[in-house]
Chain A
Amino acid sequence: MATIEAQPIPRSEQWRDYRRAAGAWLIGPGLWIIIGAFMVWAVFAERDAFVVGVVAGSIFALGALGLTLIYGVLKFGHFAHGDMMMLSGYLAFLFLSGFIVGEKPGDQLTILPVTVNDLPGADDPIWKFSFGYGLWVAMILAGAAMAVILVGLDRFVYRRLRVRKSGIVIFSIAALGIAIATRATILFFWGPSPRLYYPGIRERVDLPFDVSLLADQLFILATALVATAVVYWLLFYTRLGKAMRAMSDNPDLARVSGINTDRIILQTWIVAGALIAVAGVLLSLQVQLDPELGFILLLPLFASAILGGLGNPVGALVGGLIVGITQEVAVTLDLPLLGDVSAGYKFSVAFLILILILLVRPNGLFGAKV
């Protein structure tokens, strides 16, 4: 009787099966386990960097939230987002101090007759912060100005492209052009050297669990939290927010339902303007006012938004935090062969995350939209 011998599986096929299994694990639960393990490790091993990362991440999350809202409603990558954040930081600076640079180095040209700092007690530091209530006033004014600017840009640029039914690439290149023009505007009015809202000593605060933060960073975290909560309330509990989500889901059906999509687009720009201003002022407070910063910021912003899935507001928040924490923790690492990772590599970490997520899960951590 002939016996049937088991055919040995060729080695190449065996490897291919292993690779497939590993790939499936990596794009499935593995990704979450790796991220979770990294976060838990970072909390214990690199607590200071982790906390700074949460602060940076909360700013990224605000930026990515605006990016994702604009993508959802208008369906294009808003490449001017980082520079608009920086511009709103400078606008807040203008409302506070009232001056722009003059012709000669060191010159100051006062262009506002009344500034926020003229208000009584506006720059008296509150609690342990480096600023007074003036910064809040300036932030609100910057938000209003940014809303006007973005609505104006929509009228003169994006709406014309919509009428012509231009493709997504044309929109994004237009946004890139606006980004460059915005940066040039900042350089023209405020010069290339970085600035601070309030020079002076920044106080630290000690928190439980061996955490120590600048008081200003605590303010950044709290403000980002409140702003995020307001955006979620807007998106899930108001007529406007639901219409924005509906447009993000299915713009044609939104139009067919009788929703005035042009008006929703304008209102989206207004919301985005407010978000950009809050994120921009917080960023300027955390780092400094720097004309180049906006462009550099695009990378972590897009990495955050894509990590969370473009158009997904909850994802933007998670993505922002992951990118922020990873960036800060990564540059404290002492890697074998490579040695210390210099702080200058911070933004290449965002780039790495962006490449990895596009390779492994191009629709973001939360997968495709339902």
Chain B
Amino acid sequence: MSESIAPARPVALETQDMTTGYGEVNILHGVSTRVHEGEMVAIIGPNGAGKSTLLRAIFGLLPAREGTVHLHGDNVTGQRPDALVPKGLGYVPQVDNVFPSLTIMENLEMGAFVRRNGLAERADQVFRLFPDLAGRRGEVAGRLSGGQRQMLALARALMLDPSVLLLDEPSASLSPKMVGMIFERIKEINDGGTAILLVEQNAREALSVCHRAYVLAMGENRLEGAAQDLLDSEEVGRLYLGA
């Protein structure tokens, strides 16, 4: 869990000088981030810093006004999700991240929509990671608890075995116990080789599992560094960790 191994690996996802926003207002003013292969990177910062907006812009849900996104060296700026997903990028939104009236199995099928074969085998692999869901595959997702829904949302995004996964506040509105469990699973996913870029309000928890982190404020890069260094840093503690 140190920085030293990460930069040696090739860059999986790189955002340069991202500027975007809604309507007339720019929310991001030239944000740059980088995720290496197999690395887990957190984006933390106060409310309204533009953390979720950055993920939406990377995933083509919001047009980039300036700046570029590169996935494994290819320029994918402005590409739509149905072009990005087959290239190995996955995204889990913060809320409404399951199909409530579809069964758990159907939710996973939707996650693998762009691939037609090998569905059952991949589902079995994913269920091994989330054993809670395995016994309930015929159940409707709307009946799941908040934590189980979050598991299902992760499972859906894993169906195509993405090389980079974007997670928007995976711990939002979960009980403290569930937060710990979700982060354990995210760690397992990362150990399996998937690079992760995650946005978190819950900064302390995020920093304790991630390799590196960026601190965003007012739509700009404020700080970056190894997660442990940021945890130890007085400034970060004072400003963002409430210590």
A and B found bound together: yes
Binding site for B on A (CB under 8 A): 239, 242-243, 245-246, 248-250, 252-261, 369-370
Task: Bits for B135-153, please: 1 = Cβ < 8 Å to A, else 0.
Answer: 0000010110000000000
Smallest CB separation, B152 vs chain A (Å): 11
Smallest CB separation, B140 vs chain A (Å): 6
The answer on a CB contact under 8 Å between A369 and B81 is no
* Interface CB pairs A-B, < 8 A, 14: A242-B102, A242-B106, A245-B99, A245-B106, A246-B110, A249-B99, A253-B97, A253-B98, A253-B99, A256-B91, A257-B111, A258-B85, A258-B113, A261-B82
15 new A-B pairs (CB below 8 Å) besides A243-B113, A255-B80, A255-B82?
A239-B116, A242-B110, A245-B99, A249-B99, A250-B98, A250-B99, A252-B93, A254-B110, A255-B81, A256-B59, A257-B110, A257-B111, A259-B82, A259-B110, A259-B114
B61 contacts the other chain (Cβ, under 8 Å)? yes
- From B59, B80, B85, B93, A253 is in contact (CB under 8 Å) with B93
Given known contacts A252-B93, A252-B96, A258-B113, A246 and B102 CB-to-CB distance under 8 angstroms: yes
Smallest CB separation, B160 vs chain A (Å): 7
Smallest CB separation, A256 vs chain B (Å): 5
Smallest CB separation, B78 vs chain A (Å): 15
Smallest CB separation, A264 vs chain B (Å): 10
User: With A and B bound together, what is the CA distance between A255 and B80 in angstroms?
Assistant: 9
The answer on a CB contact under 8 Å between A256 and B93 is yes
User: With A and B bound together, what is the CA distance between A260 and B97 in angstroms?
Assistant: 17
The answer on a CB contact under 8 Å between B100 and A250 is yes
Residues of B contacting A259 with CB < 8 Å? Answer: 82, 110, 113-114
The answer on a CB contact under 8 Å between A370 and B142 is yes
B109 contacts the other chain (Cβ, under 8 Å)? yes
- Chain B residues 179-237 with CB under 8 Å of chain A are none
B86 contacts the other chain (Cβ, under 8 Å)? yes
- From A239, A246, A256, B81 is in contact (CB under 8 Å) with A256
B101 contacts the other chain (Cβ, under 8 Å)? yes
Residues of B contacting A260 with CB < 8 Å? Answer: 82
B36 contacts the other chain (Cβ, under 8 Å)? no
- Chain B residues 113-127 with CB under 8 Å of chain A are 113-114, 116
Smallest CB separation, B101 vs chain A (Å): 5
The answer on a CB contact under 8 Å between A258 and B101 is no
Most chain B beta-carbon contacts within 10 A, residue among A239, A258, A259, A261: A258
- From A252, A255, A258, A370, B100 is in contact (CB under 8 Å) with A370
Given known contacts A250-B96, A252-B93, A370-B142, A257 and B102 CB-to-CB distance under 8 angstroms: no
The answer on a CB contact under 8 Å between A245 and B101 is yes
User: With A and B bound together, what is the CA distance between A77 and B114 in angstroms?
Assistant: 30
The answer on a CB contact under 8 Å between B86 and A253 is no
User: With A and B bound together, what is the CA distance between A257 and B156 in angstroms?
Assistant: 8
User: With A and B bound together, what is the CA distance between A248 and B106 in angstroms?
Assistant: 14
User: With A and B bound together, what is the CA distance between A246 and B156 in angstroms?
Assistant: 13
Smallest CB separation, A248 vs chain B (Å): 8
Q: Which residue of B lies closest to A263 (CB)?
A: B82
Smallest CB separation, A75 vs chain B (Å): 15
Residues of B contacting A255 with CB < 8 Å? Answer: 61, 80-82
Closest 3 CB pairs of A and B: A258-B85, A370-B142, A249-B99
Q: Which residue of A lies closest to B166 (CB)?
A: A256
- Chain B residues 58-105 with CB under 8 Å of chain A are 59, 61, 80-82, 84-86, 91, 93, 96-102
The answer on a CB contact under 8 Å between B160 and A245 is no
The answer on a CB contact under 8 Å between A370 and B101 is yes
Q: Which residue of B lies closest to A258 (CB)?
A: B85
Residues of A contacting B82 with CB < 8 Å? Answer: 255, 258-261
The answer on a CB contact under 8 Å between B160 and A258 is yes
Smallest CB separation, A286 vs chain B (Å): 33
User: With A and B bound together, what is the CA distance between A274 and B213 in angstroms?
Assistant: 54
Residues of B contacting A369 with CB < 8 Å? Answer: 100-101, 142
- Chain B residues 140-182 with CB under 8 Å of chain A are 140, 142-143, 156, 160
- From A239, A243, A249, A253, B101 is in contact (CB under 8 Å) with A249
The answer on a CB contact under 8 Å between A253 and B96 is yes
User: With A and B bound together, what is the CA distance between A261 and B156 in angstroms?
Assistant: 18
Smallest CB separation, A237 vs chain B (Å): 10
Residues of A contacting B110 with CB < 8 Å? Answer: 242-243, 246, 254, 257, 259
The answer on a CB contact under 8 Å between A370 and B113 is no
Residues of B contacting A243 with CB < 8 Å? Answer: 110, 113
Residues of B contacting A245 with CB < 8 Å? Answer: 99, 101-102, 106
Residues of A contacting B98 with CB < 8 Å? Answer: 250, 253
Smallest CB separation, A33 vs chain B (Å): 26
User: With A and B bound together, what is the CA distance between A270 and B82 in angstroms?
Assistant: 22
Residues of B contacting A239 with CB < 8 Å? Answer: 109, 113, 116
Most chain B beta-carbon contacts within 10 A, residue among A239, A245, A256: A256
User: With A and B bound together, what is the CA distance between A206 and B160 in angstroms?
Assistant: 58
Most chain B beta-carbon contacts within 10 A, residue among A246, A253, A259, A261: A253
Q: Which residue of B lies closest to A369 (CB)?
A: B101
User: With A and B bound together, what is the CA distance between A290 and B213 in angstroms?
Assistant: 69
User: With A and B bound together, what is the CA distance between A313 and B97 in angstroms?
Assistant: 23
User: With A and B bound together, what is the CA distance between A259 and B110 in angstroms?
Assistant: 8
Residues of B contacting A253 with CB < 8 Å? Answer: 93, 96-99
Residues of A contacting B93 with CB < 8 Å? Answer: 252-253, 256
User: With A and B bound together, what is the CA distance between A279 and B169 in angstroms?
Assistant: 47
User: With A and B bound together, what is the CA distance between A52 and B86 in angstroms?
Assistant: 52
